[in-house]
C-alpha cells in the first residue's frame, strides 16, 4: 500500500473523494471497501493502475513522464520544465489526482503511483540519475577519488560527500562547458548522440581504454558509464545538461482537431433503422443455415473462404456481413463447435435468443462485437484473415474499437468526420497507449463494421452508436459468457428499441406470387417469408417470390397447407393464386414416403418371428412384419436387444457386414459434473445438461458521494476503535478458541478472507468485516453483499486461500 496515497486520501473532502471513486470504477467493485486503508490498497494495485492509465489522454502521460525526471517535482517546477502555463499543468494534474495515479504531499511535492513509475524504463529518453551510478558497488573509493580529481574537485571527506560534489559539478552548466573546452575532438558529438538518442547505446569497448579517445575522456570524467564491455549509458543530469536550458519535453494540452462536415441527422437516423433490423434478420438466417449444414473448420483452425462464400450465397448476405456475423455469433455464444456434427452449430443460447424481442437480440449482438478481440474486416497484405482463426491482436483490438467510437462520440452533433487521418490523430491523443500500428491498420475496418451494425452512418455516429460508445468501461472481455452491464444499459435499451421501431411486420402479396415488404422486415416476418418463398431483392423494399420448390420446402419442414396459409394470412391478405399454389403442392406432397427404421430383426423360423410380432410385451418396440423372416422395429438395435432379452429370447447383434458383433463392454465411467455451494452451506451437483450461461445481473455499486461520506466518517471513528476489535471478539465470540478469535480479528482489521460456520450449519466465505452491536458485518462471497453474522453464533473460523 502507498503511504503517500493513504495520507492524501485522509485529507480529502467528500466531493474530491467522490471524484476519485467515480473515475476509478475498480474502487467500488465488489466487495466495495469500507475503510480508507483498504481503498488505498485497492487503488495502488498494479494491474488496476495500468487499466486506469490506459484511459488517460496524452497530457496526463506527458506530465507523469516529466515527474519521473525531476528530483522533487511540484506543479511550479513542472510548468517551468515543460515551458507551459501553470493553469494547463494544474488542469491535467487534477486528472491524475482524480484517477489516484498521483497525489500531492502537504508541501506540494507530487508522488506517482508505483506502477506508473515502472511504466517508463527511460523517461524522456533519459538514463538513471547520477547517484545510481556513483553509489553502485562497482565504483570503488579509489575510482571515485580519481573521478573527483579529473573534475578538479577536492577528494577529501567521506564517500557521500564526494558523491555530492561530483553530482553538483556535473549538473552545473558552467562546469560542463569548462570541461568540454579541454575535451578531445569528437567528445561533444559523442555526448550529443547519447543525450538525444540514448541513454543506452552500443559502443566499441576498446575505445574506452585507449588513451586520447573521446570515449575514455567521457568515462574518466563521469559523463558515460559502462555496465558491460560494449554498452555505455549516460546519467540523467548529464543528458539534460547537454540538451541545454532551452529544452522542454513535449506537452500537448489540446487535442488535434478532427476535420468534420455537416450531416443530416434525419438521414443518419433513417440509415440506422434500416441497418439494425437487417443485422438481427441476417444473423437469424445465418444461424438457421448452420443448423441445417454445420460449418466445418479448417485443419489450421477457422472457417475457410469457400464455406464463408457458401453461407453468404445461401443466406443472401454479402461476404463482409457473413464474416462479421459469424465472429459476433461465436463471441455471443450463439454458435459453437459440436464434436458430434463435426462443425459449428447453433447453441442452446440461440434457442433462447430467437425467442427474445428484436431489441434484446440486437443488444446481444452489439455487446458481443463491443468486447470482441478480433477485427473481421481488417486486411493484411490485401487479404482478409481467416474467420474465427488465430488473431494476435487480442484485447488491443477491443480497446481500439472503444477508442475510435469514443472519438466519434466527441464530435459536435450533426457532424461527421471528413478525414480518416485527423480522426486517427485525435484517437492517439485521447488513447495514447493503444497500439499505433494496429490503430492505423484497423481504424477503417472498425468504421466499416460499425456501419454494417447500424452504429455509424454517413461517417457519423447514430443514436445506437452513441449509446454503445459510452460503455467502454463496462464492456467486459471476450471470454465473458455475457455482458449484462452493456446489454441492460438503459440508454442502449432505449436506442435499440427505437432502431427497430420502424420494422415492418406485414407484407403485400401480389397475384404474380410475390410478397413485397416496403421497409426493413422484422426478423419474424423475414424468417416466415424465407421459409416459404425465394428472396429476389433487398434494400428499401424487399421482394420474395413463391415457387413450387419453395412451398414444397416449407411442407418438408412439417407444415401443412392450412397452417401455412394461416401464418401467411396473419401478415397480409393472401391472393387466390397463392392459395391455389399451396394447395396444389400439398396435394402432391407425400406421394412417395420414406420410413425410418430403427433396426431389422431376422430369423430363419417364420413361426418364431410371428410369435415375436404378436407378443404383447414387445409392442413398445413398434414391430412390423415385412416378410416371413424379416421384422422391422422403430426402436434402435440396442434397445430392441435389451427388450427381447427381457422377454426370454436370445438375440445377438449383427454388424453392417452381416457378421455377429458381440463385444465386451467397459464399466460405465462416472459422469463429470460440477459441485456448487448453495446458501446454507449445502452442496449440489450441477449437471452438464443444466444451463449455466444465463446472464447474471450484478448488484448495483454504491453511490460515489454516499460512499465517500461513509469512508470519511469511518476514518474519523477509526482512532476511537483502535484496540476494541480484540476485546469485543474475545467477549462476544465465546464459542471460538483463541487462535480462531485472532483470525476473525484479522478479518476486521486487515480485511482478510476467512470461512466461518454458524450454529445452524450455515457456512460462508467472508472478508472486509466491521463490528456492529455484537455482530460481524462482513462481505459474504456467496451472497455477493455485506451481511451481519452474530458473533455469539460463530462456531468455527478457517483461513480461506
Confidence check: pLDDT of 697 > 90: no
SS3 content of the chain, % helix, strand, coil (to 5): 50, 15, 35
pLDDT, position 670 = 39
Give the Cα separation of 68 and 64 in Å (integer). 7
Confidence check: pLDDT of 682 > 70: no
| Average pLDDT value for residue range 447-463 | 94
Helices then strands, each counted (H, E), the chain: 35, 27
Decide which of 784 and 387 is more confident.
387
Give the Cα separation of 56 and 285 in Å (integer). 42
Give the Cα separation of 632 and 624 in Å (integer). 5
Is residue 598 packed enough to be buried (19+ CB in 10 Å), middle (13-18) or exposed (0-12)? middle
Closest CA to 746 of 766, 763, 773, 761: 766
Confidence check: pLDDT of 778 > 80: yes
- DSSP summary character for residue 762: -
Within 10 Å of residue 72's Cβ, how many Cβ atoms?
A: 11
Ramachandran category for residue 338: left, alpha or beta (phi over 0 → left; psi -120 to 50 → alpha): beta
| Res. 696 pLDDT band, cuts 50 70 90 | very low
Q: Which residue has the cell 569528437?
A: 186
Confidence check: pLDDT of 691 > 70: no
Confidence check: pLDDT of 719 > 60: no
* 503-507, 628-632, 686-690, range with greatest mean pLDDT: 628-632
Please, which residues have CB within 8 angstroms of residue 320's CB and are 6 or more apart in sequence?
A: 376, 377, 448, 452
Decide which of 260 and 134 is more confident.
260
Work out whether strand 542-545 and strand 514-517 pair parallel, antiparallel, or are unpaired.
Answer: antiparallel
DSSP element (H, E) containing 704:
helix 704-721
Give the Cα separation of 294 and 339 in Å (integer). 11
Query: 203-207, 669-673, 779-783: which has the minimum mean pLDDT?
Result: 669-673
| Res. 659 pLDDT band, cuts 50 70 90 | low
| Res. 474 pLDDT band, cuts 50 70 90 | confident
pLDDT, position 189 = 92
* 32-36, 104-108, 553-557, 636-640, range with greatest mean pLDDT: 104-108
| Average pLDDT value for residue range 410-427 | 93
pLDDT, position 692 = 43
Confidence check: pLDDT of 698 > 60: no
Q: Is-contact 130 236, C-beta < 8 A?
A: yes
Give the Cα separation of 465 and 486 in Å (integer). 13
**CA 127-131-136 angle, 5° bins:** 95
Give the Cα separation of 482 and 477 in Å (integer). 9
Confidence check: pLDDT of 718 > 80: no
Confidence check: pLDDT of 502 > 80: no
Please give the share of the chain, as a percent, with pLDDT higher than 90.
29
- The 10s digit of each residue's pLDDT in 186-197 is 899 999 999 999
Confidence check: pLDDT of 669 > 50: no
- The 10s digit of each residue's pLDDT in 731-754 is 888 888 888 888 888 888 777 889
- The 10s digit of each residue's pLDDT in 144-178 is 888 888 888 887 777 788 888 888 888 777 888 88
| Average pLDDT value for residue range 620-644 | 86
Confidence check: pLDDT of 693 > 50: no
Closest CA to 515 of 527, 524, 506, 503: 506
pLDDT, position 2 = 66
| Average pLDDT value for residue range 546-554 | 87
Decide which of 517 and 690 is more confident.
517
Confidence check: pLDDT of 349 > 80: yes
Confidence check: pLDDT of 475 > 60: yes
Average predicted confidence (pLDDT) for the chain: 84
Amino acid at each position: 500500500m502507498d503511504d503517500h496515497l493513504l495520507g492524501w486520501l485522509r485529507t480529502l473532502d467528500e466531493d474530491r473523494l467522490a471524484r476519485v471513486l467515480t473515475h476509478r470504477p475498480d474502487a467500488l467493485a465488489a466487495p466495495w471497501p469500507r475503510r480508507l486503508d483498504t481503498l488505498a490498497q485497492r487503488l495502488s494495485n498494479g494491474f488496476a493502475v495500468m487499466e486506469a492509465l490506459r484511459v488517460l489522454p496524452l497530457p496526463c502521460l506527458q506530465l507523469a513522464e516529466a515527474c519521473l525526471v525531476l528530483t522533487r517535482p511540484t506543479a511550479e517546477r513542472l510548468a517551468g520544465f515543460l515551458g507551459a502555463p501553470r493553469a494547463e499543468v494544474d488542469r491535467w494534474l487534477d486528472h491524475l489526482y482524480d484517477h489516484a495515479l498521483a497525489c500531492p504531499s502537504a508541501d506540494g511535492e507530487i508522488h506517482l503511483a508505483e506502477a506508473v513509475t515502472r511504466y517508463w524504463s527511460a523517461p524522456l529518453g533519459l538514463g538513471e540519475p547520477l547517484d545510481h551510478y556513483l553509489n553502485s558497488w562497482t565504483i570503488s573509493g579509489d575510482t571515485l577519488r580519481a573521478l573527483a580529481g579529473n573534475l578538479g574537485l577536492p577528494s577529501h571527506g567521506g564517500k557521500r560527500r564526494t558523491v555530492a560534489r561530483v553530482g553538483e559539478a556535473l549538473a552545473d552548466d558552467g562546469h560542463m562547458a569548462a570541461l568540454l573546452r579541454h575535451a578531445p575532438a569528437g567528445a561533444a558529438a559523442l555526448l550529443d548522440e547519447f543525450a538525444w538518442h540514448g541513454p543506452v547505446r552500443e559502443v566499441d569497448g576498446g575505445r574506452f581504454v585507449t588513451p586520447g579517445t573521446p570515449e575514455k575522456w567521457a568515462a574518466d570524467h563521469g559523463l558515460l558509464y559502462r555496465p558491460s564491455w560494449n554498452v555505455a549509458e549516460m546519467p540523467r543530469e548529464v543528458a539534460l545538461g547537454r540538451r541545454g536550458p532551452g529544452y522542454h519535453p513535449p506537452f500537448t494540452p489540446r487535442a488535434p482537431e478532427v476535420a468534420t462536415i455537416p450531416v443530416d441527422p434525419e438521414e443518419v437516423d433513417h440509415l440506422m433503422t434500416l441497418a439494425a433490423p437487417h443485422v438481427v434478420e441476417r444473423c437469424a438466417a445465418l444461424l438457421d443455415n448452420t443448423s441445417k449444414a454445420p460449418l466445418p473448420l479448417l485443419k489450421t483452425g477457422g472457417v475457410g473462404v469457400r464455406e464463408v462464400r457458401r453461407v453468404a450465397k445461401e443466406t443472401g448476405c454479402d461476404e463482409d456481413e457473413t464474416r462479421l456475423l459469424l465472429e459476433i455469433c461465436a463471441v455471443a455464444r450463439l454458435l459453437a463447435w459440436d464434436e458430434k456434427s463435426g462443425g459449428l452449430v447453433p447453441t442452446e443460447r440461440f434457442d433462447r435468443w430467437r425467442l427474445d424481442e428484436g431489441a434484446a437480440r440486437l443488444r446481444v449482438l452489439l455487446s458481443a462485437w463491443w468486447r470482441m478481440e478480433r477485427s473481421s474486416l481488417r486486411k493484411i497484405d490485401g487479404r482478409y484473415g481467416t474467420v474465427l482463426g488465430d488473431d494476435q491482436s487480442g484485447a488491443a483490438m477491443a480497446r481500439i474499437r472503444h477508442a475510435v467510437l469514443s472519438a466519434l462520440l466527441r464530435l459536435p452533433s450533426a457532424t461527421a468526420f471528413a478525414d480518416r487521418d485527423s480522426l486517427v490523430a485525435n484517437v492517439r491523443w485521447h488513447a495514447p497507449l493503444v497500439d499505433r500500428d494496429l490503430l492505423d491498420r484497423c481504424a477503417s475496418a472498425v468504421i466499416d463494421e460499425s456501419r454494417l451494425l447500424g452504429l455509424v452512418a454517413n461517417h457519423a455516429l447514430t443514436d445506437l452508436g452513441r449509446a454503445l460508445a459510452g460503455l467502454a468501461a463496462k464492456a467486459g472481455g471476450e471470454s465473458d459468457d455475457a455482458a449484462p452491464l452493456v446489454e441492460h444499459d438503459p440508454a442502449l435499451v432505449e436506442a435499440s428499441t427505437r432502431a427497430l421501431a420502424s420494422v415492418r411486420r406485414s407484407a403485400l402479396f401480389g397475384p404474380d406470387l410475390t410478397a413485397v415488404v416496403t421497409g426493413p422486415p422484422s426478423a419474424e416476418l423475414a424468417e416466415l417469408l424465407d421459409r416459404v418463398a425465394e428472396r429476389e431483392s433487398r434494400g428499401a423494399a424487399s421482394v420474395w417470390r413463391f415457387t413450387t420448390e419453395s412451398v414444397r420446402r416449407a411442407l418438408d419442414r412439417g407444415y401443412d397447407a392450412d397452417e401455412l396459409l394461416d401464418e401467411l394470412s396473419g401478415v397480409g391478405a393472401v391472393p387466390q393464386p397463392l392459395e391455389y399454389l399451396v394447395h396444389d403442392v400439398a396435394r402432391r406432397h407425400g406421394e412417395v414416403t420414406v420410413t425410418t427404421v430403427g433396426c431389422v430383426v431376422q430369423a430363419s423360423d417364420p413361426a418364431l418371428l410371428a410369435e415375436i410380432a404378436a407378443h404383447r410385451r414387445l409392442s413398445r418396440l413398434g414391430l412390423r412384419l415385412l416378410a416371413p423372416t424379416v421384422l422391422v422395429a422403430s426402436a434402435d438395435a440396442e434397445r430392441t436387444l435389451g427388450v427381447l432379452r427381457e422377454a426370454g429370447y436370445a438375440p445377438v447383434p449383427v454388424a453392417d457386414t452381416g457378421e455377429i458383433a458381440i463385444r465386451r463392454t467397459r464399466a460405465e465411467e462416472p459422469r463429470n459434473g460440477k459441485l456448487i455451494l448453495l446458501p446454507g452451506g449445502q452442496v449440489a451437483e450441477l449437471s452438464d445438461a443444466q444451463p449455466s450461461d444465463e446472464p447474471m445481473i450484478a448488484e448495483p455499486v454504491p453511490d460515489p458521494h454516499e460512499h465517500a461520506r461513509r469512508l470519511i466518517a469511518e476514518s474519523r471513528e477509526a482512532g476511537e476503535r483502535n484496540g476494541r476489535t480484540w476485546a469485543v471478539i474475545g467477549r462476544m465470540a465465546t464459542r471460538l478458541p483463541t487462535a480462531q478469535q485472532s483470525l476473525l480479528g484479522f478479518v476486521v482489521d486487515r480485511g482478510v478472507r476467512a470461512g466461518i460456520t454458524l450454529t445452524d450449519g450455515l457456512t460462508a466465505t467472508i472478508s472486509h468485516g466491521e463490528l456492529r452491536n455484537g455482530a460481524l458485518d462482513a462481505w459474504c462471497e456467496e451472497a455477493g453483499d455485506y451481511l451481519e453474522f452474530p458473533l455469539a453464533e460463530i462456531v468455527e473460523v478457517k483461513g480461506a486461500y
